[in-house]
Structure 1
Amino acid sequence: MSFTGKYQVEKQENYEEFLEAIGLLSAKTNHKVETEVVQNGNEFIWTQSIPGSTWSNKFTVGQECELLTMMGTKFKVPVTMEGGKISVQFPQYHFTAELVDDKLVMNCVTQGEKGVTFKRISKRI
């Protein structure tokens, strides 16, 4: 199944705890994040938007890619996919995304003693 589509947040778990764990609690917003994904084979353009802010990453599964954090920091990392699940090691957390019943399910897990799992489920719009 292709990830291509637009998605809007339906449900989130541990949002504030996650932001606090990575030192971005001040970036908390009550806006519904909109995610747009364009997939062409193993190539992706992944864009997230809230009113007044948009950030986008272009990557190819199976290759090292230069990505951008939501705060604008660039980093290089390989992007992998196994069993239909995209996996990326961001500097402060591990990100996975998959489609479950036509919903985009993203998980971000922080490292360390107080590992926090942030889960976002978005419906296709």
Structure 2
Amino acid sequence: MAFAGRWETETQEGYDEFCKLIGIPDNVIEKGRDYKLITEVTQEGDDFSWTQIYPTDARVTNNFTLGKECDMQTIGGKKFKATVNMEGGKLIMCSHNYHKVCEISGGKLIETLTCGSVVLKRTSKKI
């Protein structure tokens, strides 16, 4: 239940390169660069709802159950299948070319997203 709550971005590393790689248009990248992304997470047992609220109030919600393949979507609208597992207190999501690790460290939500050799690291505080 450590992930549950509402989180606001504090820092991002590798944002521009990652967004370009996954097909986000330059004008959206520009708007989002300094935007304080809001992430809302709810959890009931192994069931999660993970919503990210972007500039212009665009929202992407992904619902998943630990250990079960599910349909996911990126902010760019791309749909893919993935499985999320809990390992050592970390949420680990893998698809064919995308890897995401979420953890709570020092009271912060740390999201590390990897696509090929490009990495985006986002740190958020609980609000």
TM-score normalised by length of structure 1: 0.88
Identify the residue that residue 102 of structure 1 maps to in structure 2.
Answer: 107
Q: Is the 8 A contact 2:70 2:81 kept in 1?
A: yes
Counterpart of 1:36, as a letter, is E
* Pair 1:75-2:73 in alignment: no
Secondary structure of 1:17's counterpart equals helix
**Cα distance in 1 between the residues matched to 2:82 and 2:9:** 26
Does 93-102 or 3-12 show the bigger shift?
Answer: 93-102
Does 26-35 or 3-12 show the bigger shift?
Answer: 26-35
Counterpart of 1:10, as a letter, is E
Q: Is the 8 A contact 1:22 1:92 kept in 2?
A: no
* Pair 1:122-2:124 in alignment: yes
Q: Is the 8 A contact 1:103 1:124 kept in 2?
A: yes
Counterpart of 1:45, as a letter, is S
Identify the residue that residue 66 of structure 1 maps to in structure 2.
Answer: 71
The runs of 4+ residues in structure 1 deviating greater than 3 Å are none
Identify the residue that residue 2 of structure 2 maps to in structure 1.
Answer: 2
Counterpart of 2:82, as a letter, is V
Deviation at 1:67, TM superposition (A): 1.3
C-alpha change, 1:104 and 1:56, in structure 2 (3 Å) is same
Deviation at 1:25, TM superposition (A): 4.9
Does 46-55 or 5-14 show the bigger shift?
Answer: 46-55
Deviation at 1:123, TM superposition (A): 0.1
**Cα distance in 2 between the residues matched to 1:74 and 1:121:** 24
TM-score normalised by length of structure 2: 0.86
Secondary structure of 1:79's counterpart equals strand
**Cα distance in 1 between the residues matched to 2:35 and 2:123:** 15
* Pair 1:13-2:13 in alignment: yes
Q: CA RMSD in A?
A: 1.6
Unaligned runs of 5+ in 2: none
Q: Is the 8 A contact 2:83 2:95 kept in 1?
A: no
Secondary structure of 1:62's counterpart equals coil
